[in-house]
Structure 1
Amino acid sequence: MEDKELLKTLCMSHGPSGREHWLGDYVTEVFSEFGQVTRDNLNNIIIHKKGKGKGKIMLMAHLDEVFMIITEVKENGFLAFKGNGIDPKTLVSKEVIIHGKEAIHGIIGIKPPHLMKDEDRKKAVTIDSLLIDTGYSKESLENIVKPGDYVTVKGNYKELLNNNVSVKTVDDRGGVVALYRCAKELKNIKHDMDVYFVCSAQEEVGHRGAKTATNRINPDIGIAVDVTFDCGMYGLEHGDTELGKGGVICIGPNIHPKVRKHLMKVCKEYNIPFQLEVEAGNTGTDAWDIQVAGEGVATLLISIPIKYMHTSVETVNMDDIKNTGYMMAKLIESIKGEELEELVCF
């Protein structure tokens, strides 16, 4: 399967935190050619590709997406909701999917400016000021939707210039595609370490899948693959991460220094483009929980730069996804069992 095809299918699907199993069968089918696929009690999907049994390395990308949840069914087919990880400004005029007894479509509208009072025009958009309009009567809607039902944004897949793609939930299904690319690169390679690819659950609500999966696998090395901000227009004001210049290797206390330096050495040896990013504290990713699982895990964070994070138009460069997968594959090839203990020591 081509990377773009997989990214499109994953991103156009729906799987909010706690409902990753909606994508479970598809992900299992896609990854089953590379190893044994299992799921744990928290909906983590774990693919075990056997090596020579000389150590274990875990690669993790989260499968869940940001979401909304219904709090009240109102008159005239309107629904009140709360959000998780979504700026309410980005929800105005969006089409959404309400996952009730059946999936139904809704729209999030706003009062036209012609009808607003002056003070209303100056107010910030808040979740509490927004409603989902379904067009149903309240009586009909109550038979389909109830408080606690999930809502996700409906996205559109667009291919842009320079091998860029715009679609929802690149965070972090772009990372899942990077795992797939790595698995393809390793398919016929006899590597020393056993490899565990993990599509983790509930990252967006506290990295919960990372905790349980890492404790179960107990890897010698753990790599979180997530997304980071680009530094272009509407991106970070300070920094130099850009789309199309490779995966971003993190430096900081969450990251094992020797393993990180080894990865950079491998990238230089194989001319794999990469960028650097410094995080002085919490990286806000699964890496934060991987590192302190069990007795501690030598941890890396590799991020794929994107634009417009947590919106319906997240934009990514496909070469960055490919090269992120490629650098992980070459890292795994390079690690010899007899050198592992020294590598993971400080």
Structure 2
Amino acid sequence: MSDILPFLKSIISVAGLSGHEAPVADLIEKQWTPLVDEISRSKLGSLHGLKKGTPSKGISKPEKAPRPSVLIATHMDAIGLMVTRIVDGFLYITNIGGIDHRVLPGTPVTVHATGSGEDLYGVIVMPPGSLLPEGKGEGAVNLKYLMVDTGLLPADVSKRVRVGDRVSFNTEPVEMSGGLVSGHNLDNRASVAALTVCLEELQSKSHMWDVWALASVQEEVTYAGAYTSVFQLRPTIAVALDMTFGTGAGASGYQTFPLGKGLTLGIGPSVHPFLHKRMKEVAERVEIPVKDEAMPEMSSTDADAMQLTAEGIPTVVVSIPQRYMHTPVEVVALKDIQRAGRLLAEFIASLEEDFLTRIVWD
């Protein structure tokens, strides 16, 4: 199995915020191109890679009959910030996607300044608590009071920065002890790395079904990439590969899962029970540890969009545990990324040509 760490570091070192995913899409396209038969982008910018399957011998089909296909969805967009106003050279900001504002003060950021066309280094700062409205300076300071300091004079800031400019995290990837990696955008680019592992594994595996590798846009805000790409590609079944909450400091309940100990399989309305059963059987056969994850309402992944597209797409959710979700210092275990890629490849290889006729809802 190849070392996926250099690729993972590269894709968590660029921005690619929701609605502006091109910088990371370029890196993924370069990595996927030799691993798939066709590669393209949707009208919204989602990346589609097609790896064609090979029909089994002895099964005759009409020459132009479509081959069944499985789509693996990993969203490539990231949470971030946007400039809302500029006061005395300081940038006030709001969130793009869900952000834990408690950890933002002191975070290094990149301001994608459209006025000059250049990126600016900045740091998120907050005013002294005594200068905030009564009661607002105690505890975690609300996002609307936080600012970005670029170090430039107010006149220079006004020339370079515009309201609506994007602000992305600028923390460096760090290899931690115990096989862990920390950085921003691991949700969900760790899953993009896992899907890349899957495509590498499939180079030496026989699989009857076509495989669509999807790096979708705008999952963090609208699910737009999942809705539109699945409508365009019309896969037979789909897998949403995303992150889930990892066990950590003060987080050890039933809704969290330990890092480095395996993956989770979603159970809930967005998950087809027959696909869940097959995925679990494959995991047990290849000795990849998995745990069931209760998703009693929405899964909060691309699965919620995919299963409702067109006439309905049977979908299953696979998740990689991660600590410190939606912060600049997310943490994930490399071992779990590799496991997710291998599980997907084994699942794809397990799909018989007539698998669709066996799918039932019970």
TM-score with structure 2 length normalisation? 0.91
Contact 2:129 2:138 (C-alpha < 8 Å) held by counterparts: no
Q: Secondary structure at the match of 1:32?
A: helix
Structure 2 unaligned blocks of 5 or more: 55-65
- Cα shift at 1:231: 2.9
> Distance in 1 between the 2:166 and 2:325 partners?
20
| 1:150-189 aligned within 5 A | 150-189=166-205
- Cα shift at 1:245: 1.2
Q: Secondary structure at the match of 2:358?
A: helix
- Cα shift at 1:87: 2.1
Q: Secondary structure at the match of 1:180?
A: helix
Alpha-carbon spacing, 1:111–1:81, altered in 2? closer, same or farther (3 Å): closer
- Cα shift at 1:24: 2.2
Q: What is the one-letter code of the residue matched to 2:353?
A: G
| CA displacement 1:41-98 (0-9 Å, x = unmatched) | 11100000011363000001000000111111221x2111111311222111111100
Report how many residues are paired: 345
1:64 aligns with 2:77: yes
> Distance in 1 between the 2:315 and 2:341 partners?
17
Where does residue 78 of structure 1 map in the other structure?
90
> Distance in 2 between the 1:192 and 1:331 partners?
11
> Distance in 1 between the 2:51 and 2:361 partners?
25
- Cα shift at 1:241: 1.5
Where does residue 297 of structure 1 map in the other structure?
313
Contact 2:128 2:137 (C-alpha < 8 Å) held by counterparts: no
Q: Secondary structure at the match of 1:93?
A: coil
Q: What is the one-letter code of the residue matched to 2:94?
A: K
Q: What is the one-letter code of the residue matched to 2:86?
A: V
Q: Pick which of 105-114 and 5-14 moved more.
A: 105-114
1:202 aligns with 2:218: yes
- Cα shift at 1:106: 1.0
Q: Secondary structure at the match of 1:184?
A: helix
Where does residue 249 of structure 2 map in the other structure?
233
- Cα shift at 1:120: 5.3
- Cα shift at 1:123: 5.6
- Cα shift at 1:217: 0.9
Q: Pick which of 185-194 and 300-309 moved more.
A: 185-194
Where does residue 19 of structure 1 map in the other structure?
20
Contact 2:125 2:149 (C-alpha < 8 Å) held by counterparts: yes
Alpha-carbon spacing, 1:314–1:234, altered in 2? closer, same or farther (3 Å): farther
> Distance in 2 between the 1:132 and 1:126 partners?
14
Contact 1:106 1:133 (C-alpha < 8 Å) held by counterparts: yes
Where does residue 34 of structure 2 map in the other structure?
33
1:42 to 44, 56, 66: 44
Contact 1:165 1:318 (C-alpha < 8 Å) held by counterparts: yes
Where does residue 233 of structure 2 map in the other structure?
217
Q: Secondary structure at the match of 2:188?
A: helix
> Distance in 1 between the 2:251 and 2:170 partners?
23
Where does residue 160 of structure 2 map in the other structure?
144
Q: Which structure has more helix as a fraction of its residues?
A: 1
- Cα shift at 1:260: 0.8
Structure 1 unaligned blocks of 5 or more: none
Q: What is the one-letter code of the residue matched to 1:14?
A: A
1:307 aligns with 2:323: yes
Q: Secondary structure at the match of 1:227?
A: strand
Q: Secondary structure at the match of 2:160?
A: coil
1:271 aligns with 2:287: yes
> Distance in 2 between the 1:126 and 1:28 partners?
38
Q: Secondary structure at the match of 2:359?
A: helix
Contact 1:220 1:344 (C-alpha < 8 Å) held by counterparts: no
> Distance in 2 between the 1:260 and 1:169 partners?
27
| CA displacement 1:257-294 (0-9 Å, x = unmatched) | 01110111111111112122011010111010011111
Q: Secondary structure at the match of 1:146?
A: coil
Alpha-carbon spacing, 1:240–1:63, altered in 2? closer, same or farther (3 Å): closer
- Cα shift at 1:236: 5.0
Q: Secondary structure at the match of 2:275?
A: helix
- Cα shift at 1:117: 9.6
Contact 1:259 1:344 (C-alpha < 8 Å) held by counterparts: no
| CA displacement 1:232-274 (0-9 Å, x = unmatched) | 3233533451101111111111101011101111111111121
TM-score with structure 1 length normalisation? 0.95
> Distance in 1 between the 2:186 and 2:166 partners?
19
Contact 2:179 2:335 (C-alpha < 8 Å) held by counterparts: yes
**Could you list the runs of 4 or more consecutive aligned residues of structure 1 that deviate by over 3 angstroms after TM superposition?**
111-121
